[in-house]
Every structure is written in structure tokens, then in C-alpha cells.
Structure 1
Amino acid sequence: MQTPYLVYLVDDETSLLELLQSYLQNAGFQVRAFQSGAEVLPVLEEPEQPHIWILDIMLPDIDGYELLRLIRGKSDVPIVFISARDQDMDKIIGLELGSDDYLAKPFLPRELVIRVQKLLQRTYEKGGAAVPAPIQASYEDWVTIGPYQISEKGRQVKENGNQIELTTKEFELIVYLLHNQGLALNREQILTAIWGEDYIGSDRAVDDLVKRIRKKMPKFPLETVYGFGYRMTRT
């Protein structure tokens, strides 16, 4: 029997938290719920971690942005932001910090369930319920791009031997570009490849993702094709 995916859900609204937890559990997920950032902090040090986080931005103590930073410092599991504040600004900030999806309140609980299902399917291709094993020390598929060493199988990027911490989508875009070196890719192609055909949102997400990669990997040969999209030059 397959073990269910583990979801960590954080929201300070008791009624909404209970409602979302019920929907997610009815969809077959194992859910652990929290009502504050203070409840989450000790959990980040536990050996068992979830397959996905759902974070409310507006929390009574530590906001969702700070929690996202702390989670990203330890893990690249998918993160979904939910918020009732200014939608565009929250979405942009969340994407820049490394969230994988964003849902504005109010929303239908079923929509959240569908987004979580799709995101988990894309992240864990085989549908296995175990948290991915720790990255092994070495692989035979290393590719060198300038000062960077990239391992698709190991999901690692290093610069002169030093590990570069990347989110799931940052790494997936780098691999997608590697597989399409020299080709001009429009934003729609990138959205479909990285977020999936069911993605609902602006293509600004692509620009934000590229911005983060350029900040972390300034020597990566990624060009802007003005009025169209992006291209990784051949090395």
C-alpha cells in the first residue's frame, strides 16, 4: 500500500485551516497543520520533512516570507503561498524568494487540492511517497558550463567545487536550457516545461525565475531574446 504524500499546512485562521486540512485529507494526503511561525520553527529541525509546504503569508508572529527563507535554507521541496493581501506584489515577492505556486484568497479549497496534486506529480515523477533521498556525493553525468559543474541526476550545481543552493524550479530551468542549447525559447514554452500546461498565471514568473538564476549564477550563458524569451548560448 502506497504511503500518502505528507503536506505541512500553515495558516492562522482556524476555520480555514480546518477546512483545508479536511479537503487535503479527503484527497488522500497526510496533513500536519500549524497556526503560527513559532510552531513551525522546531519542526524545521526534525528529520522527517514534508513533500510540500502550504504557507499563509499573514501570520501573527513570523510571516510566510521569513518561513520560506528558512525552509529554502534546508530544502527545495515545493512551496505554495496563499495570501489575502495585494496579489501581484505578494506573488512576485514569493516567486523571487523561491515559492513554486501562489493562490490568492478567497479561493475554492478544491482548487488548492488540484494545484497541490499537479505540483507533486511534476516534482515526484514516479509518484513515490517517500521524501527524496539525500543527494549522493558524486555522479557520472557532470557537465561543465563555464565555472559551473552541473549534475542532472544528482540535482546539483557547483561553482569551482562549491555547492550553489537552487530551488526546484531554478534547477529545472537550468536543465531545460541545457537540453535546448542554442535555441530561442519563448516564455510560453518555458512556462509549460517548468510549471506545466495547467499553470494559471502571468509569464512574469519566467522573468522572475531567470532573474534569480542570474543572481546566483552570473556567469551562466543565458541571453535575453528581446520581445521573445531566452536562449542559452552553446558552449
Structure 2
Amino acid sequence: MSQAVKLLLVDDDKELCQLMGQYLETEGFQVSVAHSAEQALPLLGKDGSFDLLIFDIMMPGQSGLELLQQIRPRIITPVIMLTGRGEDIDRIIGLEMGADDYLGKPCNPRELVARIRAVLRRVSVPQVPVSASEKLCLHGIELDTGRREVVVKGDSIELTSAEFNVLTELMRQVGHIVSKDDLTEKVLHRKLTAYDRAIDVHVSRVRQKLAAVLPDVELIKTVRGAGYMLVQE
């Protein structure tokens, strides 16, 4: 029998935590709960303690964003942020700070489970033989899907799982427009929804990291109303 996926749910709403924790456990997850960032930090002593973290953004004391800032990049465990209505800026900041996805509150427990499973699929590294891995090279960028490594001019570039998958899809379809719908499905493993900015932020982060090492060329272009394209020349 496979080992249960370990989750840490951090939310000051104790009743919600109880209900959500019970639901997640019926779905086969092992759930630990903290009601503040201060309670959560001792549980996050080392990377690998949990398979996925769920942080509410709005909490008394330290916010979920502040907690995320404290653990990144020391802890690379994937994080889903829970955000209230009208917190679009906080959602974007969360993604820029290293969150993997977000979900608005009040959230449907089934949707949360779907997001959890999508993030876990995205961050899992399949045991692909080196001989079977795909190697993409363009503009001095060397991307290896088997090792999940990106090297530019001999230097390794640190990308999150979502950022790596964005770059992979754009390099596979170089010179062609990749729609936001397609990128969302292939990178985030879910459908694009209205007002969803997650994929835009991940693309923006890839742009920034590539620009830091290749400052003289605009590699990823936005095609308004259509999507994104990695330029061929």
C-alpha cells in the first residue's frame, strides 16, 4: 500500500480546518493542522516533513504570505494559497513569492482536492531513463526533461516546477503561439478560469529569470488575446 500524502493546513478558522481536515482524510490524505503561522513554523523544521502545504493568506499575526516568505527558498515543498474574494493582488504576490497555485475562499472541498492532486502531479519527477529524456536546445538554453534541469551558458537556472513546465512547452512549440488555455492545462493540469492570472505570473517569472542571464534578447513574446510564443530567431 502506498504511503498517504502528508498535508499541512494552516488557517485560523478552526471550524473550517476541522471540516476540511476530515474531508481530506476521507480522500486518503494525512492532515496536520496549525491555526497560525507561529504554530506552523515549528512543524516546518525541515524540508520533506510534508508533501504539500496549504496556507490561508489572511490570518491574525503573521499572514500566509509572510509565512511563505519565511520558508522560501529553504523549503521547496509545494504550497497552495487560500485567498478571500477581492485579494487578486495577494494571489499574484503569492505566486511571485513561490506559491504553486491558489484557490479562492470559500472553497469547494472537491475543488481543493483536485488542485492538490494537480500540484502533486506537476511536482512529481518521474523516473525517466536518461536515454529516454527529452533535450531541448535553443538560444543557448539547454533543457533536459529527464533531469528537469535548465542550463544557460554553463550555469544552472533555478526554476519552480511550474516555471520549468512553462519553458518546456514553449520550447517544444518554438515559433508557434501557445494559448493560455493550453498552457494552463499542460502546466497546471486544470482548466483556465475567468480572472485566473496564475499562468501569466509563471510566464512572467520565466521571463525574468531568462532575462537575468540573456539580457539582450526578448525570448518570450505576449500575443495579445492569443497567448505566448518563444521566438525562433
Taking structure 2 as the reference length, what is the TM-score of the superposition? 0.81
Does the residue aligned with 1:217 lie in a helix, a strand or coil? helix
Does the residue aligned with 2:228 lie in a helix, a strand or coil? strand
Does the residue aligned with 1:55 lie in a helix, a strand or coil? strand
Measured at CA, do residues 64 and 147 of structure 1 come closer, stay the same or move farther in structure 2, by a change above 3 Å? farther
Could you tell me which residue of structure 2 aligns to residue 137 of structure 1?
none
Could you tell me which residue of structure 2 aligns to residue 191 of structure 1?
184
Could you tell me which residue of structure 2 aligns to residue 78 of structure 1?
78
Question: Which residue identity lines up with residue 90 of structure 1 in the other structure?
Answer: D
Moved more, 5-14 or 106-115: 106-115
2:12 and 2:50 map into 1 onto residues whose CA distance is 19
Does the residue aligned with 2:206 lie in a helix, a strand or coil? helix
Question: Which residue identity lines up with residue 229 of structure 2 in the other structure?
Answer: R
Could you tell me which residue of structure 1 aligns to residue 226 of structure 2?
228
Does the residue aligned with 2:102 lie in a helix, a strand or coil? strand
Measured at CA, do residues 39 and 151 of structure 1 come closer, stay the same or move farther in structure 2, by a change above 3 Å? farther
Does the residue aligned with 2:54 lie in a helix, a strand or coil? strand
Measured at CA, do residues 165 and 68 of structure 1 come closer, stay the same or move farther in structure 2, by a change above 3 Å? farther
Could you tell me which residue of structure 2 aligns to residue 135 of structure 1?
none
- Please show how residues 23-42 of structure 1 align to structure 2 within 5 Å: 23-42=23-42
Moved more, 2-11 or 153-162: 153-162
Measured at CA, do residues 167 and 125 of structure 1 come closer, stay the same or move farther in structure 2, by a change above 3 Å? closer
1:197 and 1:85 map into 2 onto residues whose CA distance is 20
The answer (yes or no) to whether the contact 1:77–1:168 under 8 Å persists in 2 is no
Following TM superposition, by how much is the alpha carbon of 1:183 offset from its aligned partner in structure 2, in angstroms? 1.3
Does the residue aligned with 2:32 lie in a helix, a strand or coil? strand
Aligned sequence identity (%): 34
Could you tell me which residue of structure 2 aligns to residue 7 of structure 1?
7
Measured at CA, do residues 101 and 141 of structure 1 come closer, stay the same or move farther in structure 2, by a change above 3 Å? closer
Does the residue aligned with 1:31 lie in a helix, a strand or coil? strand
Following TM superposition, by how much is the alpha carbon of 1:57 offset from its aligned partner in structure 2, in angstroms? 0.7
Task: Describe the superposition over 1:170-196 as per-residue Cα deviations: whole angstroms up to 9, x where unpaired.
Answer: 111011112112211122221222122
Unaligned runs of 5+ in 1: 127-131, 133-139
Following TM superposition, by how much is the alpha carbon of 1:116 offset from its aligned partner in structure 2, in angstroms? 1.7
Does the residue aligned with 1:45 lie in a helix, a strand or coil? coil
Q: Is the counterpart of residue 89 in structure 1 residue 82 in structure 2?
A: no
Following TM superposition, by how much is the alpha carbon of 1:197 offset from its aligned partner in structure 2, in angstroms? 4.0
Equivalences, count? 225
Following TM superposition, by how much is the alpha carbon of 1:111 offset from its aligned partner in structure 2, in angstroms? 2.8
Measured at CA, do residues 110 and 93 of structure 1 come closer, stay the same or move farther in structure 2, by a change above 3 Å? same
Taking structure 1 as the reference length, what is the TM-score of the superposition? 0.81
- Paired residue for 1:167, among 143, 160, 166? 160
Measured at CA, do residues 70 and 178 of structure 1 come closer, stay the same or move farther in structure 2, by a change above 3 Å? farther
2:47 and 2:187 map into 1 onto residues whose CA distance is 29
Measured at CA, do residues 184 and 44 of structure 1 come closer, stay the same or move farther in structure 2, by a change above 3 Å? same
Task: Describe the superposition over 1:20-56 as per-residue Cα deviations: whole angstroms up to 9, x where unpaired.
Answer: 1111111100112112212333343325332211111
The answer (yes or no) to whether the contact 2:184–2:191 under 8 Å persists in 1 is no
2:203 and 2:76 map into 1 onto residues whose CA distance is 17
Moved more, 167-176 or 191-200: 191-200
